[in-house]
Amino acid sequence: MSDLSVLIIIKDEEKQIERCLQSVSFADEIVVILDKCKDDSKKIVKKFTKNHFSGNWKLEGERRNYGIKKCTKKWILEVDADERVPDELKTEIINIINSSKSDWHKIRVNNFLGKDIINFGWGAYFGKSAYAGLFKKGMKIWGNERVHPKIVLLGSEGNTLRNRLNHFYCKNIEDLFIKLDSYSSER
């Protein structure tokens, strides 16, 4: 079809992993890395792919690089459990990987707080605005920092995709502050 692997890294995501997996079911291969999962995430993942790997990683970069190695297709789309690929983006991704001469592309992101897209103000920047989420295997390497590791991108950058990924960052303000506090505790 399109020579696309989707990579998802999760830790205890039973409440939202199914919706993420449904949105990426167009891919030729789905690879899920289960990091210290104690909930029913693995049971849900098994319904969508046999390519799931469990482990215990101290560094985000280590587990992401491990996941990239497990992908077997030419192109990799990297998403998180709280993200969804809408149909328009799906079509654009397929077109890009079938025609692009570049090695990686940025994807713009709609960040949601609950059911509302946050476009402006300080809250709009807690999620990500765009990221190098579509890349050829071997063109993205994650660093060894514990939280939000640096990324090395090799090869040539292509056009940023027009359509956006939906990122359901937090369900409400309280959830946002809990997440921010967890980041500060992990550093």
Residue 150: C-alpha distances to residues 37, 103, 114, 131, 140 (Å): 24, 18, 28, 12, 11
pTM of the predicted protein model: 0.89
The C-alpha atoms of residue 121 and residue 136 are separated, in whole angstroms, by: 34
* Three-state DSSP state, 45: helix
**pLDDT value of residue 31:** 98
For residue range 17-47, what is the model confidence (pLDDT) as tens digits?
Answer: 999 999 999 999 999 999 999 999 999 999 9
What does the block give as tokens for 31? 């690879």
Residue 153: which H helix or E strand, with range?
strand 151-153
What band does 182 get if pLDDT is binned at 50, 70 and 90?
low
| pLDDT of residue 80 exceeding 90 | yes
| pLDDT of residue 54 exceeding 80 | yes
**CB of 127 closer than 8 Å to CB of 109:** yes
Average pLDDT over residues 100-105: 98
